[in-house]
Chain A
Amino acid sequence: MMKHITQRAGLGAALALGALPAQAQGIDETINRVFADYTGWYVGLIFADLPGTNFSWIALWLVVAALIFTFYFGFIQLKGFAHSIRLVKGDYSDPDDAGEVSHFQALTTALSGTVGLGNIAGVAVAVGIGGPGATFWMVMAGLFGMATKFTECTLGVKYRNEYPDGTVSGGPMYYITKGFKERGYPGGSFLAVLFCIFTILGALGGGNMFQANQAHAQIANVVGDYPGWITGIILAVVTFTVIVGGLQSIARVTEKVVPFMGIFYVLVSLLILVMNADQILWAFGRIFEGAFTGLGVMGGFTGALIQGFRRAAFSNEAGIGSAAIAHSAVRTKEPVTEGYVALLEPFIDTVVICTMTALVIVITGVLNVDAETGLYIWNAEAGRISTDGEVAGVALTSAAYARAFSWFPVLLAIAVVLFAFSTMISWSYYGLKAWTYLFGEGKTKETVFKVIFCLFIVIGSAANLGPVIDFSDAMLFSMAVVNVIALYLLMPIVKREVNSYVTRLRAGEIKRFKS
């Protein structure tokens, strides 16, 4: 069991945690030990490997779900892709609705919650352990995951709550209760409550402590070691003013900077690819070859497959249910349209951005290759492909990009901090929605959650709480267990919506305002 925990924690540990004052380390250790004693069994259960493999059942759970939705909706991600783009461009938006949340805005807001460490650190972990071939399987999982997002976000909009004052709340907890009732299934309220508990705990950990921790590690990497609580307090104060003080301007600045960071990251990646244009075909060759042979990584073909699937599932959040919360506020008469828009999310997150990172890592040659056999040199002790300086995670991505541009690590540190911050803002919102679902709306109740959330930022950046973060990761994937069960039960409703929408679209009943 501990093996899985350390594997999961491996990502965090690989990203250099360092910076802890000695006495705090003592407290950390005590908390860790007590926490691990009580929650370790659950973490082990969620991340347990399938018998005889090192493939966790939860990753398989998400990939199988993605495949089922893909077939059930007849490859909606391929057939509907062009329509998705037109919706985001606003071709079908009524000009009289200008001033409402557009499809583009719903998509970018949801994206800013998912694009982040997964795309930078997660990919490096996947390629570092699974070799270039992991990229192929990651892209496949991303492509199939598009159907999962389609399903959950359509339901999110269909069953959202609209309040008299014009605000809206949506997400799995609402479609679970309302959808189950509509179809006459029992247990809706129970599952919804369960989902909310998982969401709150996941928001405090993976959506908060882990992010804060990594932000600190990145800053410390650039400016040198200093106590983590300093970063924590700064981040907490900034977050506090945004989510409690309602100082939206800071959030707005972040929300504006983050997309540009994402675009800039892709552009720099493309530039590196262009600079090495002669090697692109070779790199794709390595990716395809590696996908089926492993090219020397441990486990060969399955080693590559497992890492790829795993990272995709952990990066784009398809099936977790968080996107359904983010997408449900859009102004549309047709819930399906938001499903179409949401399916672009795994595409941008996993297929585009993750692939860029992977290509750059492969092309820049930071992974050591045996010149004679062309296979990667396996560092058995670290359990990954050998690299110069034996780096992994963010450090590996950083090293790859630094081969092309020496200033890149500084930019990457800024990007990681901003990505972390925007992910925290998004998850504070998801957590809050789950919180108000359980305890009811109300200023005081909401403030209580927000204050708790800010406190956890300080804890997250100051302490090295591996087991606590592992537990929270387990919560994140527990959300997926509940959510995917609900999606299976409710997918006929989505099917009905899609059929009706597509028929009307073909008949020209859905008005196109721009062409």
Chain B
Amino acid sequence: MSGKFVVGYDGSEMAKRAVSFAAARAKAQDGTIVLVHVLEWSPYSFLTPNEVEERHKRRKEELVRAETALMDPVAAKLREDGITVETQIKYGHIAETLAAISKSTGALEIIIGRNGHSPIGSRVSGSVAGNLVQTAPVPCTIVP
């Protein structure tokens, strides 16, 4: 059975461990890894006039940076190991977005690192893992 594994990735050590864990699973099952990077974003935040004007430009830059600096190296390494990889970069709430992608791709499982987000960030906005296990439509593995 070749299922899909959604992996949340933000470049941190924990996220790297989640990727290697997912890689082993995918390889064993001949599955696909859906590598996802979520840029934290709320459409209800407040912006200054200047930020409003530059938003489109910044968004493009952020997407390119995420693609080249974050996703490409990992995806390339996984492909070298013979694993099929899809990548997605999205804006939104991290847990909600991962759950939505697992639904839209028909994934078997979501795999993330224990503290994928920065420690301060998770303290402020609640931990991604905590939110995810409550809302995900598929089983989740939190890699320590």
Binding site for B on A (CB under 8 A): 90, 93, 95, 98-102, 104-106, 108-109, 112-113, 165-169, 242-243, 248, 251-252, 254-256, 258-259, 326, 329-331, 425-426, 429-430
Contacts and interface: CB of A to CB of B under 8 A. Distances in A.
A98 B43 contact: yes
B43 A104 contact: yes
A109 B57 contact: no
Given A98-B43, A109-B46, A256-B46, A169 B53 contact: yes
Contact of A99 (B39, B44, B51, B52): B39
B90 interface: yes
B44 A109 contact: no
Given A99-B41, A99-B91, A105 B59 contact: no
A426 B49 contact: yes
A249 to B, nearest CB: 10
Contacts of A242: 48
Given A90-B43, A99-B41, A167 B59 contact: no
Q: How large is the interface on B (under 10, 10 to 19, 20 to 34, 35 or more residues)?
A: 20 to 34
15 contacts: A98-B41, A99-B62, A100-B55, A102-B43, A105-B47, A109-B52, A166-B57, A167-B53, A252-B47, A255-B46, A255-B48, A258-B46, A329-B56, A425-B48, A426-B49
Contacts of B91: 98-99
Nearest to B48: A251
A438 B55 CA distance: 24
B56 A100 contact: yes
B124 to A, nearest CB: 14
Nearest to B58: A166
Nearest to B55: A101
Most buried by B among A105, A112, A165, A258: A105
B38 to A, nearest CB: 10
Contacts of A252: 46-48, 51
Contact of B47 (A90, A101, A169): A101
Nearest to A325: B49
B117 to A, nearest CB: 17
Given A166-B57, A331-B56, A248 B46 contact: no
B50 interface: yes
Interface of B: 39, 41, 43-57, 59-60, 62-63, 90-92, 100
Most buried by A among B39, B46, B47, B51: B46
Given A98-B92, A99-B39, A99-B41, A109 B56 contact: no
Please list the 3 inter-chain residue pairs (A to B) with the smallest Cβ-Cβ separation, ordered nearest first: A99-B91, A166-B57, A102-B43
Contacts of B45: 105, 256
B54 A167 contact: yes
A425 B47 CA distance: 12
A329 B52 contact: yes
Given A90-B43, A98-B41, A99-B39, A248 B56 contact: no
Given A98-B90, A98-B92, A168 B56 contact: yes
B43 A248 contact: no
A329 B92 contact: no
A153 to B, nearest CB: 13
B56 A166 contact: yes
B60 A109 contact: no
Given A90-B43, A99-B62, A106 B48 contact: no
Contacts of A255: 46-48
A109 B47 CA distance: 6
B41 A109 contact: no
B31 to A, nearest CB: 26
Given A100-B55, A168-B56, 5 more contacts: A93-B43, A101-B47, A108-B47, A167-B53, A430-B49
Given A104-B43, A167-B54, A109 B49 contact: yes
Nearest to A252: B48
Nearest to B97: A98
A345 to B, nearest CB: 14
Nearest to A170: B53
B90 to A, nearest CB: 7
Nearest to B47: A105
A55 B46 CA distance: 38
A221 B48 CA distance: 29
Contact of A259 (B46, B53, B57, B100): B46
Given A99-B91, A104-B44, A429 B50 contact: yes
A90 B93 CA distance: 15
Contacts of B57: 165-167
A326 B46 contact: no
A169 to B, nearest CB: 7
Contacts of B63: 99
Contacts of B55: 99-101, 329, 331
Contacts of B59: 99-100, 166
Nearest to A257: B46
A302 to B, nearest CB: 38
A73 to B, nearest CB: 26
Contacts of B92: 95, 98
A101 B56 CA distance: 7
Contacts of B56: 100-101, 166-168, 329, 331
